[in-house]
Amino acid sequence: SLLPPFLALLCFGAPASALRAVGPTPPASPRRAEARTEAAAAAAAAAEDEPWCPYKVVAEGSAGGRLCFRTPARGFQCSARACRAHRSPGGALVANVLRNGSVLLQWAPPRPAAGLRGFALNCSWDGTYTRFPCDSVELGAACRDYLLPEAHGSVRYRLCLQPRVAPPRPAPPAHCVEFRVEPAAMRDIVVAMTAVGGTICVMLVFICLLVAYITENLMSPAAGAPRRA
């Protein structure tokens, strides 16, 4: 009969090995806790350095645009020979005007970044008598730059970046930057004039050296001749 063993189990309790098997989980060791912390930090850094920037270009007068993705230009720095940087008041938004006519916009994340849903980029440019709107862009919260592939020369642009946050948080103020793109023809003229000016400077140096040589050696031959008695 199984009744006596069952009563003995109830009286004396379960073995220690069984209690250890069903007992509470021991606390994690400090090394495991540190490893979990490092893994969480790595995951947060990977989320911050997201390799894709979702954006949508909305043409003037249209209801919506097509969703696209681009690779962020992280670590880009504007050099004096390749581009010219224009900063908004406060320096939160930077427009890097490149020599090929494109414009790379860079901005810092708003502080605080809680509730950030994305950014809205509004564009306009000055005409002869009025200001004309251009295509606006809607960007994801992970975006930190955007490239304008082609900009008109001799036109003054105004770009404003507006962060979008979840309600009921108030929207941060927009950052605006203005710049003018140098026309391609003018860039070619400047490059040609620089090359010609350098050539002329080199030629002038050779001419000056030649004149000095002639003056020293040919125009005054009697200076080195011996005097007759």
More confident residue, 163 or 80: 163
Q: How many CB atoms lie within 10 A of CB 52?
A: 13
Residue 47 has pLDDT above 60, yes or no: no
The Cα–Cα gap between 101 and 148 comes to 9
- Give me the residue spans of the domains in the chain: 43-182
Architecture of domain 43-182: Sandwich (2.60)
pLDDT at 227: 53
pLDDT digits (tens, 9 = 90+) for 133-171: 888 999 999 899 999 888 888 789 999 999 999 888 887
Question: Which residues, 6+ apart, have CB-to-CB distance to 202 below 8 Å?
Answer: none
pLDDT at 193: 54
Residue 120 has pLDDT above 90, yes or no: yes
For residue 80, name the pLDDT band (cuts at 50, 70, 90): confident
Chain centroid, CA 81 distance in Å? 18
For residue 39, name the pLDDT band (cuts at 50, 70, 90): low
pLDDT at 55: 94
Residue 50 has pLDDT above 70, yes or no: no
Residue 100 has pLDDT above 70, yes or no: yes
pLDDT digits (tens, 9 = 90+) for 51-61: 789 999 988 76
What pairing do the DSSP bridges indicate for beta strands 131-133 and 116-126?
Answer: antiparallel
Q: Which letter does DSSP use for residue 172 in this model? A: P
pLDDT at 114: 77
